[in-house]
């Protein structure tokens, strides 16, 4: 990071745009010796200033100057402006704050390894250009642009939260990060008494502000402050992947962590025990809730902040990435009361978002909806939300028993963790309630095994479960830079020409991916499945029966996303462990053989057991054999 005082304002109004004013005089656009500019309190640069005072039309002057200097001119379209302000957080352009870009009426338009394209209002401020080239370590390519468009882009601050704009609400009180902290229970803290250990020291305030702002703008789900021997490593989980934001020197490590702990209502003196806290931020990107966890480690306190949006008004199934088939099936399942609908998957797989989408779908004002959560991640108008509190022995089971006395139509239980909760959830469905909850299993069929392990009898599972949806989150390919897969790669995986692969550009931070989508596998209960589960069927048999009704696995769903060009083979392998090999249906084998495209080899399958014979037949047909069965 380059010190900002390299770009300190150099002086008087008479020196601003001096070379440009001389050129305007040479071009006959203004009169030599004119003092209007020097004596004006107006802070506009020469072209905009003289245009405002009626000397010429701004577009005429811009055209004349650009032609004389042989440089390009741009009106700065909305898309250019949006892209430009996104670049403000991209190294090395982040050496300047937005206010400094405003001071010099400059806006970055593009950056690569050797050049930075910059829109300028004054192309003849040689001194500033040399300083900027030195700071960025790259040559400048100048493009002339209207001053007001440059300022409009920078003042909008889309893509970068100005440090003075972030406000915090802690314990019900509103705080400004660049001021003192006021709390009804604490004395006022002043920056004037700051020391290296003082968490209210001004540099620490600005640093924490910048870190939080960047993480929120980048769409991070989690922010990590990882202590090291040299200081503090700051990372953010963006689209499910940990990415480095910055490094903090050792001298600021303890003040920074203390500052964050103080704002979250945690004990800054306690460094030996784990602590939890909460923080609400109001930024230009909306209100955000931070759930903070601190644990001691070898080099200091390791802090993780989960970033959440407290209010959720819309979460359509399609926005989560569900295809039309899953959307329709899930909507149909939710029409049925007296059933338990489970969402399964590991931590961070999007289970909460799916549950909240179900709640919003059901929240039409005609139902009494009550939730018990740990913690409450999103607030929903019209829904009674209760948070568990282990400190007073108020857990999921206790809360659920209380909820059932509140005349609910729909009950959401954050997680089925133990035998008692599992039993009450099943019995709640038996008494006519629609129940939504989550379970930590890898697949939909394995949820049945997990419930059995928790002590729920098979007969109760079969009569209570309405659906089980397994899910994961996968990164979506960047629309600006993804490319078609090579033909040999497509052939190897049996993929169509619509399959694409990651590349990397400035829009996706060179990752090749931007945003995430869900991978969904929905198992809907049927009469045949109920009977099989009641008869202690295993996971393989449950899946085989479910496939007859249209069920497909997470591997199948992942392959569909690759075939549609939404994500890549590599991403599915990262999320699911392996990319499913090409599957060919029996009808496809027969059709290809009929056309002569392939020669389907015949095989005689002899097996007395019907189920075993069916399994072998399916496997052999997928391997492109024509199977002749003999009992």
Looking at the structure, tell me whether residues 327 and 450 fall in a common domain: yes
The residues, any chain, with a CB within 8 Å of residue 144's CB and separated by 6 or more, are 62, 65, 66, 69, 71, 72, 73, 74, 119, 120, 121, 123
Looking at the structure, tell me whether residues 210 and 263 fall in a common domain: yes
Q: Are strands 300-308 and 286-297 parallel, antiparallel or unpaired?
A: antiparallel
pLDDT (0 to 100) of residue 586: 43
Looking at the structure, tell me whether residues 342 and 224 fall in a common domain: no
Distance between CA atoms of residues 409 and 365, nearest Å = 11
Looking at the structure, tell me whether residues 45 and 140 fall in a common domain: yes
Q: What is the DSSP letter of 306?
A: E
The CATH number of the domain holding residue 268 is 3.30.450.90
User: When comparing pLDDT for 15 and 418, which is higher?
Assistant: 418
> CB atoms < 10 A from the CB of 371, how many?
23
Q: What's the pLDDT band for 15 if we cut at 50, 70, 90?
A: low
Q: Which run of H or of E encompasses 344?
A: strand 339-344
In a domain, 384, yes or no: yes
Whether 37 has a pLDDT exceeding 60, the answer reads yes
Q: Which two tokens stand for residue 257?
A: 């962590």
In a domain, 486, yes or no: no
Q: What is the DSSP letter of 365?
A: S
| Structural domain boundaries, residue 132 | 4-148
Q: Which two tokens stand for residue 200?
A: 């209210």
pLDDT (mean) for 164-183 = 32
Looking at the structure, tell me whether residues 244 and 361 fall in a common domain: no
Q: What's the pLDDT band for 468 if we cut at 50, 70, 90?
A: very high
Convert the pLDDT of each residue in 204-238 to its tens digit.
Answer: 777 888 888 888 888 889 999 999 999 999 999 98
**Which parts of 357-508 are beta strand (E)?**
369-373, 384-387, 410-413, 434-439, 465-477, 483-484, 500-501
Q: Which two tokens stand for residue 550?
A: 């249209």
Whether 404 has a pLDDT exceeding 80, the answer reads yes
Convert the pLDDT of each residue in 277-322 to its tens digit.
Answer: 888 877 666 778 888 999 999 999 999 999 987 766 557 788 899 9
Whether 570 has a pLDDT exceeding 70, the answer reads yes
The residues, any chain, with a CB within 8 Å of residue 154's CB and separated by 6 or more, are 85, 98, 101, 102, 107
pLDDT (0 to 100) of residue 601: 64
The residues, any chain, with a CB within 8 Å of residue 25's CB and separated by 6 or more, are 31, 32, 34
In a domain, 200, yes or no: yes
Q: Which two tokens stand for residue 187?
A: 């004395």
In a domain, 533, yes or no: yes
pLDDT (0 to 100) of residue 5: 37
Looking at the structure, tell me whether residues 408 and 425 fall in a common domain: yes
In a domain, 214, yes or no: yes
- CA 13 from chain centre, in angstroms, equals 45
In a domain, 212, yes or no: yes
Q: Shortest CA distance to 123 belongs to which of 50, 71, 75?
A: 71
> What is the gyration radius of the CA atoms in the chain, in angstroms?
31
pLDDT (mean) for 20-25 = 88
- Domain boundary at 124, 148, 172, which? 148
Looking at the structure, tell me whether residues 324 and 299 fall in a common domain: no
pLDDT (0 to 100) of residue 82: 78
Contact 337, 350 (CB under 8 A): no
Mean pLDDT of the chain: 81
Share of the chain above pLDDT 90, in %: 42
- Domain boundary at 289, 308, 327, which? 308
Cβ burial of 436 (10 Å; 0-12, 13-18, 19+) is buried
Looking at the structure, tell me whether residues 169 and 228 fall in a common domain: yes
**Mean pLDDT lowest for which of 140-144, 160-164, 567-571?**
160-164
pLDDT (0 to 100) of residue 363: 92
Whether 564 has a pLDDT exceeding 90, the answer reads yes
Convert the pLDDT of each residue in 91-105 to its tens digit.
Answer: 788 777 777 788 888
Convert the pLDDT of each residue in 578-600 to its tens digit.
Answer: 886 554 444 454 455 555 444 55
Whether 370 has a pLDDT exceeding 80, the answer reads yes
pLDDT (0 to 100) of residue 591: 52
Whether 123 has a pLDDT exceeding 80, the answer reads yes
Place of tokens 């934001």: 245
Looking at the structure, tell me whether residues 321 and 304 fall in a common domain: no
Q: Which two tokens stand for residue 623?
A: 């391997």
pLDDT (0 to 100) of residue 4: 35
pLDDT (0 to 100) of residue 304: 96
pLDDT (0 to 100) of residue 624: 60
In a domain, 501, yes or no: no
In a domain, 570, yes or no: no
pLDDT (0 to 100) of residue 383: 93
**Which parts of 479-539 are beta strand (E)?**
483-484, 500-501, 513-524
pLDDT (0 to 100) of residue 600: 54
Q: What is the DSSP letter of 392?
A: G
The residues, any chain, with a CB within 8 Å of residue 32's CB and separated by 6 or more, are 25
Q: Shortest CA distance to 239 belongs to which of 580, 567, 569?
A: 567
Distance between CA atoms of residues 535 and 202, nearest Å = 67
pLDDT (0 to 100) of residue 3: 35
Cβ burial of 518 (10 Å; 0-12, 13-18, 19+) is buried
Report the domain count for the chain.
4
Local structure of 132: helix, strand or coil: helix
Q: Which two tokens stand for residue 608?
A: 């007395």
pTM of the model: 0.62
pLDDT (0 to 100) of residue 1: 35
Whether 185 has a pLDDT exceeding 70, the answer reads no
Distance between CA atoms of residues 237 and 222, nearest Å = 5
User: When comparing pLDDT for 409 and 151, which is higher?
Assistant: 409
Looking at the structure, tell me whether residues 398 and 469 fall in a common domain: yes
Contact 369, 382 (CB under 8 A): yes
Q: What's the pLDDT band for 327 if we cut at 50, 70, 90?
A: very high
Looking at the structure, tell me whether residues 527 and 390 fall in a common domain: yes
Q: What's the pLDDT band for 183 if we cut at 50, 70, 90?
A: very low
- Domain boundary at 90, 117, 148, which? 148
Convert the pLDDT of each residue in 472-521 to its tens digit.
Answer: 999 999 998 999 999 988 888 889 999 999 998 878 878 899 999 999 99
Q: Shortest CA distance to 209 belongs to which of 164, 257, 266?
A: 164
Distance between CA atoms of residues 50 and 15, nearest Å = 16
pLDDT (mean) for 120-145 = 88
Looking at the structure, tell me whether residues 70 and 119 fall in a common domain: yes
pLDDT (mean) for 255-281 = 87
pLDDT (0 to 100) of residue 202: 56
> CB atoms < 10 A from the CB of 230, how many?
12
Q: Which of 131-135, 387-391, 523-527 has the highest mean pLDDT?
A: 523-527
pLDDT (0 to 100) of residue 376: 83
């Amino acid at each position: 990071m380059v010190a900002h005082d390299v770009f300190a304002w150099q002086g008087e109004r008479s020196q601003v745009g001096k070379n440009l004013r001389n050129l305007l005089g040479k071009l006959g656009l203004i009169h030599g010796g004119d003092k209007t500019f020097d004596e004006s309190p107006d802070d506009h640069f020469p072209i905009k200033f003289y245009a405002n005072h009626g000397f010429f039309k701004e577009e005429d002057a811009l055209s004349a100057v650009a032609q004389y200097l042989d440089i390009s001119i741009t009106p700065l379209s909305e898309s250019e402006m949006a892209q430009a302000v996104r670049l403000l957080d991209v190294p090395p352009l982040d050496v300047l704050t937005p206010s400094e870009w405003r001071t010099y009426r400059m806006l970055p338009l593009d950056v690569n390894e050797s050049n930075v394209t910059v829109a300028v209002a004054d192309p003849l401020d040689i001194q500033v250009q040399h300083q900027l080239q030195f700071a960025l370590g790259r040559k400048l390519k100048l493009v002339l642009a209207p001053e007001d468009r440059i300022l409009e882009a920078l003042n909008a601050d889309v893509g970068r939260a100005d440090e003075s704009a972030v406000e915090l609400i802690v314990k019900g009180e509103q705080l400004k990060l660049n001021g003192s902290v006021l709390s009804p229970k604490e004395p006022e803290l002043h920056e004037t008494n700051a020391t290296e250990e003082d968490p209210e020291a001004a540099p620490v305030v600005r640093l924490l502000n910048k870190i939080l702002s960047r993480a929120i703008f980048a769409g991070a789900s989690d922010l990590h402050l990882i202590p090291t021997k040299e200081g503090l490593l700051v990372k953010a989980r963006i689209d499910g992947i940990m990415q480095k934001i910055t490094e903090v020197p050792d001298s600021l490590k303890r003040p920074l962590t203390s500052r964050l702990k103080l704002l979250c209502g945690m004990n800054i003196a306690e460094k030996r025990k784990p602590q939890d806290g909460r923080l609400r931020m109001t930024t230009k990107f909306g209100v955000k809730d931070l759930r903070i966890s601190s644990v001691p480690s070898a080099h200091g306190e390791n802090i993780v902040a989960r970033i959440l949006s407290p209010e959720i008004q819309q979460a359509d199934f399609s926005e989560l990435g569900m295809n039309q088939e899953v959307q329709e099936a899930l909507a149909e399942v939710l029409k049925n009361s007296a059933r338990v609908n489970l969402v399964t998957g590991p931590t961070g797989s999007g289970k909460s978002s799916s549950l909240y989408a179900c709640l919003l779908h059901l929240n039409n004002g005609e139902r009494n909806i009550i939730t018990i959560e740990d913690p409450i991640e999103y607030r929903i108008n019209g829904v009674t939300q209760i948070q568990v509190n282990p400190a007073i022995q108020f857990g999921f089971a206790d809360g659920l028993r209380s909820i059932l006395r509140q005349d609910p139509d729909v009950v959401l239980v954050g997680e089925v963790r133990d035998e008692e909760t599992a039993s009450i959830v099943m019995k709640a469905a038996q008494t006519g309630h629609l129940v939504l909850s989550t379970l930590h299993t890898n697949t939909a069929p394995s949820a049945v095994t997990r419930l059995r392990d928790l002590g729920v009898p098979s007969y109760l599972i079969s009569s209570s479960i309405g659906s089980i949806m397994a899910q994961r989150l996968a990164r979506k390919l960047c629309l600006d830079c993804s490319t078609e897969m090579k033909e040999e790669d497509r052939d190897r995986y049996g993929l169509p020409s619509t399959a694409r692969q990651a590349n990397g550009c400035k829009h996706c931070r060179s990752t090749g991916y931007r945003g995430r989508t869900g991978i969904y596998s929905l198992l809907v209960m049927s009469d045949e499945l109920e009977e099989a589960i009641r008869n202690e069927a295993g996971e393989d048999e449950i899946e085989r029966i479910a496939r007859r009704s249209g069920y497909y696995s997470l591997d199948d769903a992942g392959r569909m996303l690759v075939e549609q060009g939404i994500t890549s083979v590599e991403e599915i392998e990262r999320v699911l462990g392996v990319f499913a090999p090409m599957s060919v249906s029996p009808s496809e084998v027969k059709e290809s053989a009929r056309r002569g495209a392939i020669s389907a080899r015949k095989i005689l399958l002899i097996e007395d057991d019907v189920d075993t014979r069916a399994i072998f037949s399916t496997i052999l047909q997928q391997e492109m054999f024509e199977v002749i069965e003999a009992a």
